[in-house]
Structure 1
Amino acid sequence: MRPSRLLPITAASAALALGLVGCASGSGAETGGATGDTVTIEHALGTVEVPANPERVATVAWANHEVPLALGVVPVGMAAANFGDDDGDGLLPWVSEKLEELGAETPVLFDETDGIDFEAVADTDPDVILAGYSGLTQEDYDTLSEIAPVVAYPEGPWATSWRELIEINAAGIGRADEGEQLIADIEAEIAEAAAEHPELEGKTAGFITHIDPTDLSEISYYTTADPRPAFFEDLGLVEPAGIAAASEEAGDDVFSLTQSAEQADFFDDVDIVVTYGTDLLTTLQADPLLSQIPAVQRESFVQLDGTGPLGTAANPTPLAISWVLDDYLELLAEAAAKVDQ
């Protein structure tokens, strides 16, 4: 696993397009910056005014802490990693590297095994709470709002893309312009790395989320609403027509669907299958129905360890993308080569 490539942060002229209504101050409102006393942000659970330059930033749920860290701000508290943590310290490796780069100690880690620890969050005395990528309920949001202003997801629970995550969380700490530059830097890095793998361009990819080895009667897969298959497009891959149509019919708030094994031909237009597990391909090859899927027959399969960092980073987040990009592209390229044989 290669080390992280750190991204430069500079000022950008682009204004935040998502969620940022304006900056209120005693002299009126200013759109698109963070020069006043507060920033007003619209999100799916309401409208919130946050301090333009908060000193104490707390984050809950998955990956929200990566935005302030990428922008040089160390949270006072954040959620502990509950999967993909290879050494049990509550931090994913790209987060550990960033903290070390910033010369910072590990923030307070919230144990969210059983949901948000509201008391622990309150104990960090935050000025703002970031939850741009999360599954907050309205009740969760209301409870957190009693502690500090909360920045929730822009559209739906767990539906925030990595770009939207940066946009709304950067706005939440008064750094919208720096967030836009961070997005541009990551996009440039992705484009440069993907250009080294032209064999991926135009191929279709699907992400299987679950197959029960003891019951092969159905296959569950992520819809295009989930960030994992959405990331394929960044890498030059395209949506299979069947998955795209089923995703559109299901709606933006549905992240996985299930297909009967008797209709395994649904996956005929999937060139590359990505999934979690280490021996799933062998299991499918032994099944009379699922073995007929073209990607299974030609073994254009990417199997990720869902408990390790690489599998975790398949769900793209601001710091994980740089850390995993080359390795992930190599695995996809190996599968793509089998499509062309």
Structure 2
Amino acid sequence: VDFYTPAALVDLGITPVGVVQSYFDDGAAIPEHYRSEVTDSGATSIGEYYELDVEAVSTTDPDLILATDDFLPLDDPLRDKLESIAPIITFKARDGESWRTRSTELADILDREDALEPLVADYNSRRDEIAERYSDVLDNETFAVFVPTADEWGTYADTHFSTPILRDLGAHFREQRDDEINENGFPNWFSYEELGRLDNVDVIFTPVTDRAVLDKVEGNELWKRLPAVRNGLVFEYIPDSPTGSYGWALENLDALDDLLGTVSAAR
């Protein structure tokens, strides 16, 4: 009943009988490998993670319901209805390490450590290889993931769920002011009159979800004055950044390998 654990299950050789609607929708930030694995298996859509269809959950007749604490906290009244269907295991979701701890805990619970171990080894080896290849960039540049909307902007912290693999590679994130992130690691939002806050970042990554919004930002005079912009060090961020599992993390390592190569060539 969440966005992440279907991928963690697939890594362990288990296909869930029900998944959230995101796995059936084009444009969701989920690697195609995981989308096709669950949809081709005949899995049932159980609504979206923020608007579950309890009746659809029931029709899948699950032995176990997996959840995360962001959309199904322990005090959510919906839990009583779901627990009448099957036991619930709840994992942490929105921090920089949750993708890793969720994967390892799930493997332990389901006695599938043997299935996870090769992925862990591959991830660690690939991460270290990329970190060494781009050590000059990672050690000497500061990074920000800049998120524009039509009227406001924010930046993801290094603990955000969309930045863990970049951080795991050893990237140094720009120092954020106290008012730029909230207690959950989510960005606070600012008007474009405050773009000068980004004068302390060398390299800007930005998810391109709306080209018209980014075009508007690029025409902003304050944006044009930023060091990263003047130096041509603004790049599109990796598309499936909210990492859900070790296999997902490996795909993001490949994407970051390409991205850091582009950054290195542009410096």
Name the TM-score, length of structure 2 as normaliser: 0.80
Structure 1 counterpart of 2:258: 330
1:238 to 172, 195, 211: 172
Structure 2 counterpart of 1:185: 122
How far apart are residue 163 of structure 1 and its match?
0.6
* Alignment CA distance shift 1:152-1:228 (3 Å): same
1:71 and 2:9 aligned: no
2:90 to 123, 130, 152: 152
Q: How does 1:1-341 map to 2 (within 5 A)?
A: 60-81=1-22, 85=26, 92-96=31-35, 105-112=41-48, 115-132=51-68, 134-137=70-73, 138-154=76-92, 158-159=94-95, 161-175=98-112, 179=116, 182-202=119-139, 203-212=141-150, 215=151, 218-242=152-176, 245-246=178-179, 250-251=182-183, 253-277=184-208, 278=211, 282-304=215-237, 311=239, 313-318=240-245, 319-338=247-266, 340=267
What 5-or-longer segments of structure 2 have no aligned partner? none
Return the letter of the residue paired with 2:182: A
Identity within the alignment, %: 24
* Alignment CA distance shift 1:142-1:225 (3 Å): farther
- Secondary structure, aligned partner of 1:201: helix
Aligned positions, number: 260
Name the TM-score, length of structure 1 as normaliser: 0.65
How well do the aligned residues superpose, as a CA RMSD in angstroms? 3.2
The C-alpha deviation readout for 1:127-164, integer Å capped at 9, x for no partner, is 2111247521422333322221111133xx53362112
Paired residues of 2:134 and 2:260 also in contact (CA < 8 A):
no
What 5-or-longer segments of structure 1 have no aligned partner? 1-59, 305-309
The C-alpha deviation readout for 1:229-248, integer Å capped at 9, x for no partner, is 233212231121126x556x
Return the letter of the residue paired with 1:170: A
Return the letter of the residue paired with 1:61: D
Paired residues of 2:142 and 2:174 also in contact (CA < 8 A):
yes
Higher helix share: 2
Higher strand share: 1
* Alignment CA distance shift 1:198-1:279 (3 Å): farther
How far apart are residue 76 of structure 1 and its match?
1.8
- Secondary structure, aligned partner of 1:320: helix
Equivalents in 2 of 1:280, 1:336: separation in Å?
27
The structure with the larger Rg is 1
Return the letter of the residue paired with 2:130: A
Paired residues of 1:79 and 1:112 also in contact (CA < 8 A):
yes
